[in-house]
A and B are shown apart, each in its own frame.
Chain A
Amino acid sequence: MGQVSSITPDDVLDVKGEICPYPDIKTRKKLKQMKPGQVLEVLTDYPLSVERIPRNVEKEGHKVLKIERIDGPTHQIFIQVGSSG
């Protein structure tokens, strides 16, 4: 398993096992509910979303802090909510 992360998320979204486009849609919804500056951790094992979530949340004004592989296809994505919401 991966090492202990230095980032402490305010909320965690576990979408392991889910495919197109649920990981992406749920991430977007969750980010909308959170306050600017807060950090969301997304857990996904769907390869397309590991690449697409960072690309799209940055387009929506959020900041990707870190993407880390935990095990096989499973990744943690840390996203900081942008000020525009």
Chain B
Amino acid sequence: MVVNANIVSGLIVGFAFGIALQRGRFCFNSAFRDTLLFRDYTIIKAIGVAIAIEMVGFQLLSDLGIVELFPRGLYWGANILGGFMFGVGMVLAGGCISGSTYRTGEGMVGSMLALAGIAVGGALTLEYSLAPIKDAFQTATEIKINGRIPTVPLLFGVSPWVIIVPVFILFLFFAQRSYRRERKGKHDPISLFGRGWPWWFGGIIVGLLAVVSYPVTEAAGQTVPLAMTGGYIGILAAIVYRNLAFIGWYQAMVIGAVLGAAFAAALAHEWKLRAPPAKMLAQSLVGGLVMGVGAVLGDGCNITTILIGVPLFSLGGILAGTFTILGCWTAAYIMFG
């Protein structure tokens, strides 16, 4: 590891992201699962707001020539299987990668084991025993449109704005309607380090962070802002091989995110080292392993597929994200239904 601008920018972006994740309670697992178990739509609305902002922000950055957009590829078999595994794994682990990251910062031991599982499962699939299976799956089911990565605008042969504008207006309409209905004349001030942020505030902050971090990510030579799986795999490699050369932008970003979440949790009096019974710890570790395999096989965790892939209209991201939700619902229904 050379302490260079990339490490510093990764730490800063991660730190800000960690604060937003902890304060916004940004966990995709809670978001999807709660719609089924509790008919609770709070976190999924936050994700919707973030995606709406990103759609506009990413395309503006691209039109202004500030970034080059690289939507993730479509490998339907790998996206379906990997996405579904990721969805099942996050229910077992009690949190997806972003959720487990912020809870690790809060001092929750089960989430630390989930992250360890993600790193091991991800590494096995990326480089070791499961890598041939992943490669075979991705190669056999890859689809391109005229040699290009398939996206919704490419599929229909239209400018991305033709999709962005109506979708953004629709999002805005539902968001403000929901906001007004909940508020009913109340004016609760937002407390940065008191209770969790309201969904719309968390969504705006995460969306803006993703947009701002896009050029920073590309300046560091990477393509997917805020993606976390590779970060944890790299940290595992650095520990196993005792080689700091594995610590780059993504690794610095996830370390920054855990620190940012810990900082926010401490200020909000939510930091404490705490562990569930042993059986749940084991379940978190297994869930992490399944998530790690799914994330690398399906080409992305929720951040890559849903938070970044959907606003870029990547068909692979949309497909994997859809199956993550289905996997989450299936596992939640069996375990808690």
Residue positions of A touching B, CB distance < 8 A: 16-22, 24-25, 45-48, 51-52, 55-56, 59, 69, 72-74
Contact = CB atoms under 8 A, between A and B. Distances in A.
Nearest to B25: A48
Nearest to B95: A20
Range of interface residues on B (Cβ < 8 Å): 35 or more
Chief secondary structure at chain A's binding surface: mixed
A66 to B, nearest CB: 16
A49 to B, nearest CB: 10
A20 B99 contact: yes
4 closest Cβ contacts across the A-B interface?
A19-B94, A73-B270, A17-B276, A20-B94
Interface stretch (B1-9, B12-20, B28-36): B28-36
Contacts of A45: 272, 274
Contact of A73 (B34, B106, B280): B106
13 contacts: A17-B274, A17-B276, A20-B33, A21-B37, A47-B25, A47-B196, A48-B25, A51-B25, A52-B34, A52-B40, A59-B39, A73-B106, A73-B271
B110 interface: yes
Contact of B94 (A16, A22, A47, A52): A22
Q: Which of B111, B195, B270 has the most CB of A within 10 A?
A: B270
B177 interface: no
Given A19-B94, A21-B33, A59-B39, A47 B276 contact: no
A51 B195 contact: yes
A69 B40 CA distance: 24
B37 A25 contact: yes
A20 B30 contact: yes
A45 B276 CA distance: 11
Contacts of A51: 25, 195-196
A10 B34 CA distance: 28
B269 A73 contact: yes
Given A22-B280, A25-B336, A59-B38, 9 more contacts: A17-B109, A20-B30, A47-B106, A48-B30, A51-B196, A55-B42, A72-B269, A72-B272, A73-B265
